[in-house]
Structure 1
């Protein structure tokens, strides 16, 4: 927080210093009975109260003063009263108030949480009538306002503290007034009861704007909305009142306690115009009526306002329920770029008002003012807040920190916005501190300008104004980057609106021949097919059912799409792959706004769709992935394993533990987003094959870690924790073991997960919950829960296909095995192919001790002595079965004489000389030699096992290197095929040398 500097009082303000001291001392002397009953006398004036060394007034006759103030206290007095007429006026009218603040120490310290509320509550408790309540609140407000301004101008509190104190004061005044009025209203009109619930009803007071965000300024009004839970009528009186009428009368009394200006001033100016239907609407509405209004008639500016809504008084519990009811209106589950257009419209209306009223010098509403920084933050909140719960908060500085932390805005931009906001808010406080007036206009007269420059730490107005204009220009620039119309620059330069040349074609003002000619001249190979695709889109049922606003957004988007499509080498392919996405999102047109508002995101979309139909299909199925296209740095730089796991943990911590639906959606969105980022990085050439597999495997591990945690919590909540004799809880004594691609750190796009669940519980002991079961049942249910969380279909698809057939006894076996049972099975019953699979098995997540027990079993099983002839025969037999069933039939699984001829096909995974041959050789070698070479068991991925075979001298270096390079080349080809949505089958004249060499090494190992 950058506090303005404390500077010397400038010469132009020095005449105020002596005058203000004398006025205060005269007020003290004239205050009859000020010290009576306080045990204080009137000591002679201290030398410390002089204006300053060398002053002509130093020799003036001494004036008695009630306090022997030290020099630094007089310096604080001079600073505050020179700047603020309001403080001077309060001190002169009521010197006891200032002296009490000093004597209590309240001026010199920050209040503890709840302390300010307690002071106001104690004062309000003494009120015996509504007039006295009003008088008490106003005097309390004057006291706290004096304290807050004193601390602010003397830099004893920073901006956040000052705003918090002001907001706490408002909360306390509103709530204490309500708590005083409510029982008296009930005595007069009866107690309001809910017709449905039969429970006593209280009003809920929502604070909006700066009050809701705990950002109140020195002279804010307060925007309020009143509500009550349900209809009914009052009880306990002869003539009951309808609940709404009861609360309307109560609301009117509450406003009267706060708003009118009396001889004691006012508490807060109350603005109720943000309520439904504005000034013409009912003062108070039931929750049902509020929810219905916002669902059916809520406007964009009301969404914007409701971001800041906070319960400031009344029934806090009911208020929390009301905010939950209204949250779907504020935060949409999808990316809502329509918010930018709404904010842009609001800004234009404000600019018109500023011009009409000549408010260019308004630091809130003028160009580069406070409102623009608020718009920037709230644009991101409205767009992304439905999915990113970290953005669902009120204080602007915290939102800016989140925008930086979550990567929505660069750190340098956030730093400028934060510093600019603080400067503007301090300036706002300086303007309002002068006379406690609600204004954000820069003053015209020289005295007030000098005061503001002084309060802001500048030698003169010109230095301050130069800095102010710097921050306003930076704010305006950043605002333009987020909120400005993409067509604005083009229109300003009389250029065509972006894509405007394609608008007649889309609106069918051209005949077919002219349209085809335009498409052909722009680079489309098959102009008639391109035109037909556009006509089919226009005629699709989704478009015919579109509402007017959505159709307008589509009409704005298609010309931009065509303008960018023709910049690509194959615009025909762009239309083929992107128009299905357009059709899919047509009725959720906020996605079209996203791409219209962000030309770079549209450009990235077209590039990725041109490169991969798999990506095009993923985005069409899950349009929420368009969000990932907004941040180029994030899109092409997927995080490393620790950051990946930390990011997912952080996302889930923001979701209530009992909200399983949100948790499942968050997991699925996380997977989809990071899958896209990996694919994009691979296409852009930023990630080689091995890194792609690393990232996809890390992603699966991060997700499994959280799925296990969720399943564990849910199962424990139902049955309690399973016990073990050697420790009180299981920790949990459970691991998820990965086989196949996930075990070998070789996941590809769309890979399923081969999993095995193992526990180390004691079947003789039960869980400690209300519904106890034995540990075997517990871990079986835990496993079932994990599979459900992974495979359940939601709006965002499923997390993974899960294959559990590699567990002991396959599909017929228990879902979860104990360590002991798994060991027995592997040692006595498992087939050789199951031991081959065990070579690639590793613990993915779970209990460290149980994982270590599994590793001991794995090591013992793989290292046991084997007859090599038998082993070769069994490995060869299994491989032959796979080739016969899965390989390319025309070429006898790649072993026929025609296997290498042009026109034939090669399955890079299953045919002879392909991926599975290399995997089987590695597995054979691990089973054959790991007993004597335990280092072969350290890793589960083929590349590092091959390196181990080379280091141990079990494979010639040239052969090991050849197998590694062939394996990587095959897998890279398979990845490319997957991104093109094609099977892993390529022309037979590819990889001829690699295939022959793999087959040679296969034969030299004695495999057939």
Structure 2
């Protein structure tokens, strides 16, 4: 018979086999629902396309004309759901159902109705991938919640409910956990409960028994196949101990399981864990307790080997299934994209909580934002993920079957190709193959085994000789690798010593295997540098210090770039090697040479510190102190790396080290103030009705912007005071002076307390008014009076280099006025010369080396201290006539200012500048070689003599009067 097709133009666009398929389905619909032909004018234009592509949609509509009518009447096929609309439809469909059989039927009908809507919009091109995955995941959440609520109601008449009000915790993992459920997926669930107890019913059950019964009902409601189908297949194999474990686990038992028995693949699975239904608050607490299991606090590069093994297992399973292309598991499939993103998460998200995200697309974007993944690679992976997931969904939408294999029948292939915008199967396969090839190349680049790629046959022999501690064999193999005879002997001795060390013998087998993998890589990297045996010895000392934490060995094995930077820095500086050994977390900085040798300026440092502390609560003092110390160590390492490689000039080295201290002090003061104000309220100036200010003044090298590696911080604490009683404004007010003393103590505590990450800075507060006998903090008024009436000349000398660095602007301006007034006061030249000279002589007698062969760059006559005293003397003597001299605090610009003011001969200023730079440059270099700031006297004899002549001319006992 002749059948009138709706929308003949839309039908004509389909290829003949799909036209025929649609005509067949439409005929069946008319035959079953004869009177519904009148619907034709209202049918959507997409109907021929969707029915031709999906038997599931067509059969569902053929079975129920009411479904067709509802979809059209609600405009469900035209517009995306508004927030809450899906929840409302689920509630309307299931809310009034009381009988179990009726509920089982209703929940399946609800699922089918929504799945038809989702499939129709997707196949019609009305919904993008994000909408489709979100709708599928939300639907699963609400149906699981509805099934749980019905199960609770069903058990309540007999057993009651938990007396403490808790509910079952339903955790979703896998695609549902990530909010990325595919069309015909299983749902991976884990059930838990918060605490032991009893139900309050007439037949009371303990919580384990109650929640087990509840979970069994929930699974049956979802997974039992009835005449109306299933809601979802439920996979419980991811729970603790798998199929052998209890169906429901007490939260504390779950925490113990993962701490004691958790495996790498379980960490991978738990990345996507989410509370899907039940007791959300308890579920979130449980997830928080398990977060340290999933995300390690260190860089866990051991993940690479685990993921390689997992992928190899998946590949072996795929091979057993034959040559079929699997969109999920085949090389270049969806699983490899997830491995790339989640591999980075397992490695890094413990230290960067911004990477703790369940969705793979957002994870890839965040990796690119952090330069962990090149932006072009992220774009390619995002594009491939969208294409593969759309293909997966549209394949499953054909018959609502869980499959990831490409179809083999002609109609299935044409449907998939057409649904993906391709004219035929070869066109689709060309696009698909290109996408999967690109994904697999990215996967191989990330997960390739560097030691296998870079190594050779000699590596196995070298690793074996090292494990056996065979020094003779090591010497022979090292010589074959390019080590000269003496270098080979020394290097073999170092390697054998490491192999035979008691600490190495007690390592776990995993650590020893990784160390054996690392040894050939280290040997090969060191031989390319000067003095390879010495370089290797430094690197091995570092390796031995961290060998107990095999994840750091894995990092170096997995990252040839990090290994090469490590060896390069060990060759350049034993001090850097010591810092890395003390804090192996710093190995992370070696992964990106772009940032390693380009330390950020002050604004960049402030941004990086804010990012590092973004998720650390101010009241978590332990974590705050550790993060601050890690930040400082990482930034100082960057400065040192740039220094030893010549990427930073001397002045920038000191600038960088000073900026690091400044941003840390600024943040520490802010945190300490927040903590104290939360307890006592802000300090208040009653007479001025405003908050009283507090600030930190830097002296010495910090004040002079001349900080060195390992320098102490000389600081003074100042605050604003008023008249009368001055109290904080809080629930527990205290006197302002007490508040500020506690604030200073807290700052010192945060900076100076020794933790597992060391100390931030040693704090020297002896330059405060009256020194060690004085108050910890001073008001601006008291500080002004002290400088005016009681301070010694040497304290005014120190004030030349003093600089406000953190705190309230009002304190900054107050201090600046006091400093300028003090430094610009009139002074008696002879008395000033005498006091400055005598102070320097006392210093030399106390601290000088008195060694005619060696010269202490800092303390001996003609060295750094003499130049500093000459500058300070001239500033104090001439600032009254030349106020511009108080503008700067660093010696280089002060010397320039003295020359510009005509106070100092420009040639003399240039000489002192050159000498000062040379001394400091040499001091930095010696520090990086882990050596004291002492050189042979003849090395700098000319500079020392020139500085000495200027000293004698201006400050010598018989020197001419200025």
User: Which range, TM-score by smaller chain?
Assistant: over 0.9
Find out whether 1:88 has 2:58 as its counterpart: yes
Deviates more, 1:557-566 or 1:803-812: 557-566
Q: Please show how residues 500-579 of structure 1 align to structure 2 within 5 Å.
A: 500-508=460-468, 510=470, 512-519=471-478, 522-523=483-484, 525=486, 530-579=491-540
Conserved? CA contact 1:738–1:843, under 8 Å: yes
From 194, 200, 224, the counterpart of 1:260: 224
**Aligned equivalents of 1:792, 1:815: Cα separation in 2:** 17
Find out whether 1:621 has 2:591 as its counterpart: no
For 2:896, the equivalent position in structure 1 comes to 947
CA shift, 1:257, in A, is 1.2
Deviations 1:655-682 (A, max 9, x none): 3444332222211111111111111111
The alpha-carbon distance between structure 1 residues 496 and 517, as it changes in their structure 2 partners (threshold 3 A), is closer
The alpha-carbon distance between structure 1 residues 189 and 960, as it changes in their structure 2 partners (threshold 3 A), is same
From 143, 146, 167, the counterpart of 1:202: 167
CA shift, 1:999, in A, is 2.3
Query: Normalising to structure 1: TM-score of the pair?
Result: 0.89
CA shift, 1:780, in A, is 1.2
From 376, 391, 404, the counterpart of 1:427: 391
Deviates more, 1:205-214 or 1:122-131: 122-131
Deviates more, 1:287-296 or 1:363-372: 287-296
For 1:457, the equivalent position in structure 2 comes to 421
Conserved? CA contact 1:83–1:434, under 8 Å: yes
Conserved? CA contact 2:580–2:587, under 8 Å: yes
From 630, 635, 641, the counterpart of 1:669: 630
Conserved? CA contact 1:918–1:998, under 8 Å: yes
CA shift, 1:695, in A, is 1.5
Find out whether 1:966 has 2:927 as its counterpart: no
The alpha-carbon distance between structure 1 residues 486 and 519, as it changes in their structure 2 partners (threshold 3 A), is closer
**Aligned equivalents of 1:711, 1:282: Cα separation in 2:** 48
**Aligned equivalents of 2:40, 2:419: Cα separation in 1:** 28
For 1:174, the equivalent position in structure 2 comes to 144
For 1:26, the equivalent position in structure 2 comes to 30
From 201, 214, 230, the counterpart of 1:250: 214
CA shift, 1:864, in A, is 2.2
**Aligned equivalents of 1:649, 1:787: Cα separation in 2:** 20
SS in structure 2 opposite 1:749?
A: coil
For 1:223, the equivalent position in structure 2 comes to 188
For 1:978, the equivalent position in structure 2 comes to 927
**Aligned equivalents of 2:141, 2:528: Cα separation in 1:** 58
Find out whether 1:474 has 2:409 as its counterpart: no
Find out whether 1:878 has 2:842 as its counterpart: no
SS in structure 1 opposite 2:182?
A: coil
**Aligned equivalents of 1:501, 1:1004: Cα separation in 2:** 69
**Aligned equivalents of 1:311, 1:591: Cα separation in 2:** 33
For 1:751, the equivalent position in structure 2 comes to 711
SS in structure 2 opposite 1:435?
A: coil
For 1:956, the equivalent position in structure 2 comes to 905
Deviations 1:478-534 (A, max 9, x none): 11122122244468xxx426x334124213385x54544545663363655544433
CA shift, 1:962, in A, is 2.2
Conserved? CA contact 1:7–1:457, under 8 Å: no
The alpha-carbon distance between structure 1 residues 672 and 1006, as it changes in their structure 2 partners (threshold 3 A), is closer
CA shift, 1:28, in A, is 9.3
Query: Normalising to structure 2: TM-score of the pair?
Result: 0.93
SS in structure 2 opposite 1:737?
A: strand
For 2:882, the equivalent position in structure 1 comes to 933
From 778, 781, 793, the counterpart of 2:754: 793
Q: Which runs of 5+ in 2 are unaligned?
A: 1-9, 958-962
Conserved? CA contact 1:524–1:530, under 8 Å: no
**Aligned equivalents of 1:920, 1:958: Cα separation in 2:** 18
Q: Which runs of 5+ in 1 are unaligned?
A: 1-5, 33-62, 194-198, 892-903
The alpha-carbon distance between structure 1 residues 135 and 808, as it changes in their structure 2 partners (threshold 3 A), is farther
Conserved? CA contact 1:27–1:93, under 8 Å: no
Find out whether 1:15 has 2:26 as its counterpart: no
For 2:238, the equivalent position in structure 1 comes to 274
The alpha-carbon distance between structure 1 residues 271 and 830, as it changes in their structure 2 partners (threshold 3 A), is same
Q: Please show how residues 524-923 of structure 1 align to structure 2 within 5 Å.
A: 525=486, 530-725=491-686, 730=691, 733-762=693-722, 764-891=725-852, 904-923=853-872
From 245, 255, 263, the counterpart of 1:291: 255
**Aligned equivalents of 1:13, 1:806: Cα separation in 2:** 91
**Aligned equivalents of 1:437, 1:520: Cα separation in 2:** 62
The alpha-carbon distance between structure 1 residues 801 and 102, as it changes in their structure 2 partners (threshold 3 A), is farther
Conserved? CA contact 2:169–2:282, under 8 Å: yes
**Aligned equivalents of 1:656, 1:111: Cα separation in 2:** 38
**Aligned equivalents of 2:334, 2:412: Cα separation in 1:** 21
Deviations 1:681-730 (A, max 9, x none): 11121111111112111111221222122211211122122223377663
Find out whether 1:338 has 2:302 as its counterpart: yes
Conserved? CA contact 1:359–1:441, under 8 Å: no
For 1:42, the equivalent position in structure 2 comes to none
Conserved? CA contact 1:204–1:227, under 8 Å: yes
CA shift, 1:285, in A, is 1.1
For 2:201, the equivalent position in structure 1 comes to 236
Find out whether 1:213 has 2:187 as its counterpart: no
From 271, 275, 282, the counterpart of 1:318: 282
From 367, 372, 376, the counterpart of 2:331: 367
For 2:39, the equivalent position in structure 1 comes to 65
Conserved? CA contact 2:823–2:876, under 8 Å: yes
**Aligned equivalents of 2:11, 2:380: Cα separation in 1:** 24
For 2:93, the equivalent position in structure 1 comes to 123
Conserved? CA contact 2:536–2:567, under 8 Å: no
The alpha-carbon distance between structure 1 residues 640 and 755, as it changes in their structure 2 partners (threshold 3 A), is same
CA shift, 1:301, in A, is 0.6
Conserved? CA contact 1:367–1:476, under 8 Å: yes
Find out whether 1:348 has 2:312 as its counterpart: yes
**Aligned equivalents of 2:903, 2:545: Cα separation in 1:** 56
**Aligned equivalents of 2:48, 2:805: Cα separation in 1:** 68
**Aligned equivalents of 2:454, 2:534: Cα separation in 1:** 28
**Aligned equivalents of 1:254, 1:404: Cα separation in 2:** 41
SS in structure 2 opposite 1:207?
A: strand
Deviates more, 1:656-665 or 1:321-330: 656-665
SS in structure 2 opposite 1:738?
A: strand
Conserved? CA contact 2:271–2:358, under 8 Å: yes
CA shift, 1:250, in A, is 0.6
Conserved? CA contact 1:790–1:799, under 8 Å: yes
For 2:358, the equivalent position in structure 1 comes to 394
SS in structure 2 opposite 1:64?
A: helix
SS in structure 2 opposite 1:889?
A: coil
Conserved? CA contact 1:24–1:95, under 8 Å: no
Deviations 1:419-450 (A, max 9, x none): 22222222222222322222222222333333
SS in structure 2 opposite 1:990?
A: helix
CA shift, 1:761, in A, is 4.9
**Aligned equivalents of 1:7, 1:632: Cα separation in 2:** 59
Conserved? CA contact 2:22–2:52, under 8 Å: no
CA shift, 1:18, in A, is 6.3
For 1:49, the equivalent position in structure 2 comes to none
**Aligned equivalents of 2:549, 2:859: Cα separation in 1:** 43
SS in structure 2 opposite 1:890?
A: coil
Deviations 1:974-1001 (A, max 9, x none): 0001101111001111222222222233
For 2:123, the equivalent position in structure 1 comes to 153
Find out whether 1:142 has 2:102 as its counterpart: no
Conserved? CA contact 1:7–1:458, under 8 Å: no
CA shift, 1:462, in A, is 2.8
Deviates more, 1:471-480 or 1:977-986: 471-480
**Aligned equivalents of 2:32, 2:820: Cα separation in 1:** 90
For 1:305, the equivalent position in structure 2 comes to 269
Deviates more, 1:423-432 or 1:270-279: 423-432
The alpha-carbon distance between structure 1 residues 870 and 30, as it changes in their structure 2 partners (threshold 3 A), is farther
**Aligned equivalents of 2:187, 2:592: Cα separation in 1:** 38
